[in-house]
Amino acid sequence: MRGSRSGSADRTRVWNRLRRIAAIGVAGAIAVVIGLSAGAVATDPGATAQKWLSLLADGVRSRALLPFEDGARRDWSYLPRDAPGVRFGEMSAEAQAAALALLAEGLGGQGRADARAIMERELVLGAIEEAAGQRDARRTRDPGRYRLAIHGDPGAGRPWSWRFEGHHLSVTTTQLPGGQRVVAPVFFGVNPAQIQEGPHAARRLLGPEEALARALLLSLPEERRGRATVSADAPSDILTRSDPVVRLLPEDGLAVADMTEAERAALRRLVDVYLDRFPPDQAQMQRSRIEAAGFDRVRFAWAGRAEAGSPHYYRIHGPTFLIEYDNTQNGANHVHTVWRDLQNDFGGDLLRAHYERHRGDPAPDGHGLDDPHGHALEDDPHGHALERSPDKR
């Protein structure tokens, strides 16, 4: 009985904390994320970036603007680290608005909604951890800790990039002269994906990514489901983690060429969930590249059990892109997803083509022009990548 009363008291503290969050916000966090719901999207990212820089104090601006040649441009993460750039919590309201306008320019409507929800869910995670006795939870789970960094001069007519990053959210956009750009890599994650009780329990974040994949798997006849299922055990995280270059993964799973029309349509709907995170121009560009490379060559691979609530993982792997989804931690209530562009992460082939056209512009070291398929991952007995500790945060 004592344990039951203690658990009930902990849950009461969590929901009291969430009610206070809803009423007053935490450390300006609500002000940080609310701007993503306004629907205003920047039409000139270079001008928006320059406006943001102009709103920063001199000492802060030096941390916001970094060399394009800096290797940190490809050093991304989905962990709550002290990344390069400027924290939202140290920006003025005007600078926050400009930063959010730049982020919104790199996302579509669904992407903006998901990004906002992911940042807000940090408050929920903080409340849960605080109730469990983690004294620094309020500080570490503050949406004001998300950061924006710019690499290169957005007003110089040369390639530049920006990255918005924090726990469970990382969006990188590389801009080329003339308006050409690529938004990749893009990571969305959430913990908890679904609050187990209380006023917010009905909403599951990143739910379609799970539901559509499971529905596709369960719709397959036994033989094709066996080909799609590459392991009975799910890996502890996405296999590529935050590697700057996507390494080769096994070409296993079920090929689209072996699917029925209904199964192909179901997989397209699942891929569209990820493409809907992008602004329309980027979504269309990715769709066109997928079709040009051959949709029949795309593969769907699942690991883990098919039952809801069981640890599971899947990937969708084609000649031009890789999607990874992992939900194994916190009782399969902690989701990691990533979109990788196999040729154009951090600019990739687009940058190579730019420098070939402008040979007077020296290509920076570490700018992502190396072969994205240069080396394979070592496999474990289940056909997964090297074992590395998962992100348990």
Could you tell me which of 1, 13, 6 has the C-alpha nearest to residue 198?
Answer: 13
pLDDT at 371 (0 to 100): 40
Q: In the beta sheet, which residues pair with residue 172?
A: 163
Walk along the chain (393 residues) in steps of 10 and give the mean pLDDT of each run.
Answer: 50 53 42 54 86 96 96 96 94 96 97 96 89 80 94 97 98 96 98 84 90 99 98 98 93 98 99 98 98 99 98 98 98 98 97 88 48 36 38 56
Give the per-residue SS3 of 106-166: CCCHHHHHHHHHHHHHHHHHHHHHHHCCCCCHHHHCCHHHCEEEEECCCCCCCCEEEEEEE
pLDDT at 136 (0 to 100): 79
Quote the CA–CA distance of 209 and 276 in Å, as a whole number. Answer: 11
DSSP symbol at 289:
H
Could you tell me which of 15, 393, 339, 390 has the C-alpha nearest to residue 192?
Answer: 393
pTM assigned to the model: 0.86
The DSSP bridge pattern shows strands 65-66 and 147-151 to be parallel
Q: CA-CA distances (angstroms) from residue 22 to 8, 117, 189, 191, 200? A: 21, 13, 22, 18, 11
What count of Cα atoms within 13 Å lies in the side-chain half-sphere of residue 227? 13
Q: What DSSP letter does each residue of 22-72 carry, written as one string?
A: HHH-STTHHHHHHGGGS----S-HHHHHHHHHHTS-HHHHHHHEE-TT-GG
pLDDT at 28 (0 to 100): 45
From the centroid of its chain, how far is CA 285?
19
Size (the chain), residues? 393
Q: In the beta sheet, which residues pair with residue 326?
A: 313, 336
The domain locations on the chain are 10-179, 207-357
pLDDT at 384 (0 to 100): 37
Q: What is the four-CA torsion angle of 108, 110, 115, 120, rounded to 10 degrees?
A: 150
Q: What is the four-CA torsion angle of 160, 120, 390, 392, rounded to 10 degrees?
A: 140
Beta strands in 177-311 (DSSP E): 181-190, 229-231, 254-255, 299-304
